A = this chain, B = another copy of it.
Amino acid sequence: MSRYTYLGPAGTFTEAALTPLLKSGDSALPAANVTAALESVRNGDSDYALVPIENSVEGVVARTLDELAVGEPLMIIGEQVLQVSFALMVKPGVTLRDIKRVATHPHAEAQCREFIAKNLPHAEVVMTNSTAAGAESVAKGDADGAIAAEVAATHYGLEVIERNIGDRNGAVTRFVLISKLGTIPALTGHDRTSLAIFIAADHSGALLEILTEFAVRGVNLTFIQSRPTGSELGQYHFIVDAEGHIEEERVGDTLKALHRICAEVRFLGSYPRADKVAPTSTKGMTDSAFQSADKWLSAVRKGERA
Contacts and interface: CB of A to CB of B under 8 A. Distances in A.
A59 B54 contact: no
A221 B204 CA distance: 8
A10 to B, nearest CB: 17
Contacts of A128: 127
A213 B217 CA distance: 10
B62 A58 contact: yes
A94 interface: no
Interface in A150-198: 168-172, 174, 181-184
B292 A259 contact: yes
A212 interface: yes
A252 to B, nearest CB: 5
Interface stretch (A1-9, A17-25, A85-93, A295-303): A295-303
Majority secondary structure of chain A interface residues (helix, strand, loop or mixed): mixed
Interface residues of A, number: 81
A141 interface: no
Contact of A260 (B181, B183, B232, B293): B293
21 contacts: A56-B233, A57-B231, A63-B110, A73-B305, A106-B106, A168-B231, A170-B231, A181-B305, A182-B303, A184-B303, A204-B220, A211-B211, A212-B216, A216-B216, A234-B275, A246-B300, A246-B301, A252-B297, A252-B301, A260-B285, A260-B292
Interface of A: 33, 54, 56-60, 62-63, 65, 73, 75, 81, 106, 110, 127-129, 168-172, 174, 181-184, 204-205, 207-209, 211-216, 220-228, 230-234, 236, 246-247, 252, 255-257, 259-261, 267, 275, 280, 284-285, 289-290, 292-294, 296-297, 300-301, 303-306
Given A293-B256, A297-B252, A303-B183, A59 B56 contact: no
A280 B33 CA distance: 42
B212 A296 contact: no
A222 to B, nearest CB: 7
A234 B222 contact: yes
